């Protein structure tokens, strides 16, 4: 009788060539970019000493670049926000390092606490705000590097039209 639990490995699994791919120097997939963000978040020595807080505008610092991508460190004092925007042709990973940020989209509002990640596609429209009473710090990865950040004027809670029926 065969079932999924009957799987057996014969021979030396380390000899299977597709399992022996050398590690990449730079991320190339969404999962690898999210993993990079988690590893930077976990190692406070990479970013904590760089953080500054500016009451007049959001503070940001380009932490690292690689082939086609950028990592940005941002701080948010209470009340600061990004405004409603998208990231042009770039996809991104937003990771909250400290504090709490609130993300507003046409589909609703989500609180993002330390450790939370959001992966978004090009053209994804959102607004990020520090609605809390304490500062927050976040890490943003953009691929390709951010060259355009169109601002939107539509109300942040305006509902999107429901998708229509799928037709052939």
**153 token code pair:** 């004027």
| Pairing state between β 136-143 and 69-76 | antiparallel
Q: Is 126 annotated as a binding residue?
A: yes
**Does an H or E element contain 113, and which?**
strand 108-113
Q: Is 18 annotated as a binding residue?
A: no
**DSSP letter (8 states) at residue 120:** E
φ, ψ dihedrals at 166, nearest 5°: -80, 130
Spell out the residues 6+ positions from residue 23 whose beta carbon is closer than 8 angstroms to its own. Answer: none
Q: Is 85 annotated as a binding residue?
A: yes
Annotated binding site: 85, 87, 126
**Annotated binding-site positions for Fe cation:** 85, 87, 126
């Amino acid at each position: 009788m065969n079932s999924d639990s009957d799987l057996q490995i014969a021979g030396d699994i380390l000899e299977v060539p597709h399992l022996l791919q050398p590690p990449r120097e730079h991320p190339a997939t969404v999962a690898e970019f999210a993993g990079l963000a988690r590893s930077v978040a976990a190692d406070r020595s990479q970013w904590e000493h760089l953080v500054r807080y500016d009451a007049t505008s959001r503070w940001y610092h380009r932490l690292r670049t690689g082939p086609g991508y950028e990592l940005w460190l941002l701080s948010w004092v209470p009340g600061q926000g990004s405004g409603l925007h998208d990231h042009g042709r770039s996809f991104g990973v937003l990771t909250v390092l400290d504090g709490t940020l609130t993300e507003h989209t046409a589909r609703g509002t989500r609180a993002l606490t330390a450790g939370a990640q959001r992966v978004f596609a090009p053209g994804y429209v959102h607004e990020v705000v520090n609605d809390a009473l304490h500062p927050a710090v976040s890490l943003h990865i953009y691929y390709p590097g951010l060259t355009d950040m169109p601002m939107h004027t539509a109300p942040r809670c305006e509902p999107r039209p429901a998708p229509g029926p799928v037709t052939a």
